[in-house]
Amino acid sequence: MYRLLVTGQKGQIGQAIRDRIQDQGWDVLFTDIDTLDITNAKQVQSVFKRFKPDVVVNASGYTDVDKAEYDTAAAESINAYGVYLLAIQCHNFGALFIHFSTEYIFSGHGRRAYLEDDTPTPLNVYGRTKLQGEQYIKTYLSRYIIIRTSWVFSEYGQNFVTTMLSLSRETAPIRVVNDQIGCPTYAGDLANLVVDIAKDYHAETGRYRFGDYNFCSDSDSDSDSDSDSDSDSDRNSGVSWFDFAYAVFEELDKYKPGEQGRCLIGVTSEEYASIATRPKNGILDCHKISLIFRPSDWRCKLRHVIAITMT
Ligand SMILES: NC(=O)C1=CN([C@@H]2O[C@H](COP(=O)(O)OP(=O)(O)OC[C@H]3O[C@@H](n4cnc5c(N)ncnc54)[C@H](OP(=O)(O)O)[C@@H]3O)[C@@H](O)[C@H]2O)C=CC1
Ligand SMILES: Cc1cn([C@H]2C[C@H](O)[C@@H](COP(=O)(O)OP(=O)(O)O[C@H]3O[C@@H](C)C(=O)[C@@H](O)[C@H]3O)O2)c(=O)[nH]c1=O
């Protein structure tokens, strides 16, 4: 039977994968830090030896961007060393490695959207450790797919949308940066992509070549209709965190009237002063993957996430 090993199953992408991979008739081993700590060489080796995966999906990671600035050893261990251990075993067992990376590997100093081949120059520890993880994969493996994505939100765990929903319960005005732009991505889209890649690999149809793919949810509000008229240049033009927060409150207003008028204050990154520096431009050019796989519209998925959370 086709065997898939998933790490980080309790995270938001891990849970979304779990929801969507169950019905495929594959033998899937879901793990998290309590059953497979990816930084524990012996555990990694023993799980591979026992399970002999055909595909490994690494949905684990150290994702607290601010904390990584002072908890650097832990971030390096999980985002770089753990990825190295998985890559070595994927090489030994001939498994395909599917891994998630981030737009935070880029500086965001440029104005255009980042392409897969652009040179990464991370501004913060999280981005640097994620880049190290990518480099290990590329050094030790040829059979890998790295999905670079951004601003992941879902109905699970903690993310920017759930943070905004928590803040909405307080009375103080909410200050949100308006000079960092990026592309929100629904975790369910990433999970559907993983299933599609795994299916393709199993069937040997060769639609996905090994390598890097940028992937974000769509920013075109017509994308869930049958219209194919929208051009790729209209896609992924990005929004600011402030715009994203505004969209959350706009949606929340349907359940708690008055929320849209809440006091959201746009501030600059300098005014907000978070611990880690984030790229001002985090837009990923998703043209390469759009020829193979189509994501959904993030506003439509935001509606879905808020509906689930509020009912
Ligand atoms: N969220 C985002 O916006 C983006 C995420 N990514 C990448 O996608 C991946 C998944 O992200 P997301 O689902 O949001 O992250 P989450 O933080 O929601 O989930 C990560 C999971 O990994 C687990 N984990 C931590 N350390 C280990 C370890 N040593 N061994 C095994 N599991 C471990 C965590 O467990 P615990 O909670 O107990 O620590 C958690 O369950 C990460 O690699 C991240 O860098 C890429 C781009 C954007
Ligand atoms: C909570 C909050 C954040 N912000 C700012 C801080 C920051 O610049 C931006 C986002 O903050 P967060 O800490 O929620 O998100 P952050 O952890 O920066 O999100 C990133 O996570 C990692 C894992 C990724 O890989 C990235 O793609 C991206 O999703 O919004 C505000 O302006 N106001 C607020 O109330």
Separation CA 232–CA 198 (nearest Å): 25
H helices of 81-124, where?
A: 82-93
**pLDDT band, residue 261 (cuts 50/70/90):** low
> Ligand 2 in contact with 128 (CB < 6 A)?
no
SS3 assignment, position 7:
strand
And the tokens for 212? Answer: 């890097």
Q: Note whether 295 and 189 are within 8 A (CB).
A: yes
If DSSP states are collapsed to H, E and C, what string results for 49-69? HHHCCCEEEECCCCCCCCHHH
Separation CA 244–CA 146 (nearest Å): 26
**pLDDT band, residue 256 (cuts 50/70/90):** confident
Catalytic residue among 114, 126, 136, 156: 126
How confident is the model over 150-163, as pLDDT tens digits?
999 999 988 999 99
- What is the per-residue burial (b if ≥16 Cβ within 10 Å, else e) of 130-144? bbbbbebbeebbeeb
Q: Which residues fall within 8 angstroms of residue 72, CB to CB, at 6 or more apart? A: 125, 129
Please tell me the number of the ligand nearest to residue 183's CA: 2
The domains of the chain, with CATH numbers, are 3-158+184-221+284-296 (3.40.50.720)
> Ligand 1 in contact with 74 (CB < 6 A)?
no
Q: Note whether 215 and 148 are within 8 A (CB).
A: yes
- The answer to whether residue 126 is catalytic is yes
How confident is the model over 181-216, as pLDDT tens digits?
999 999 999 999 999 999 999 999 999 999 999 999
